[in-house]
């Protein structure tokens, strides 16, 4: 698979996970998120997927596209995957409610829906 096709495949996976987060979080207030364990676990899983996929995109591609906060999502994935204590709920909320919609907007510019 060519580097561009591979990057597109990864972007597609990130875009889908970001869409799922946005859909799950639509209309959800923090206190609802805090009380809904199933929602929290689903969002954490999707954030982990986003970061994992981002880590597989070549450094060259990431450098060419600084509009995506690659390091933030990769780093957040590492926190979610390796921090076995209580994950800071506020950080997950902020990532899901604020950072992921911005990520989705950037991904839609890199990989529009018609591709």
Would you name the residues annotated as active-site residues?
Answer: 77, 82
For 14, residues 6+ apart whose C-beta sits below 8 A from its C-beta are 49, 50, 53, 54, 103, 107
């Amino acid at each position: 698979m060519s580097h561009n096709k591979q990057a597109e495949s990864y972007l597609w996976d990130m875009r889908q996970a970001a869409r799922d987060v946005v859909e799950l979080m639509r209309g959800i207030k923090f206190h609802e998120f805090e009380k809904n364990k199933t929602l929290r676990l689903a969002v954490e899983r999707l954030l982990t997927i986003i970061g994992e996929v981002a880590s597989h995109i070549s450094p060259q591609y990431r450098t060419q596209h600084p509009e995506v906060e690659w390091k933030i999502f990769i780093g957040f994935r590492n926190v979610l995957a390796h921090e076995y204590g209580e994950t800071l709920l506020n950080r997950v909320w902020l990532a899901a409610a604020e950072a992921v919609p911005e990520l989705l907007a950037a991904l839609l510019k890199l990989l529009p829906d018609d591709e």
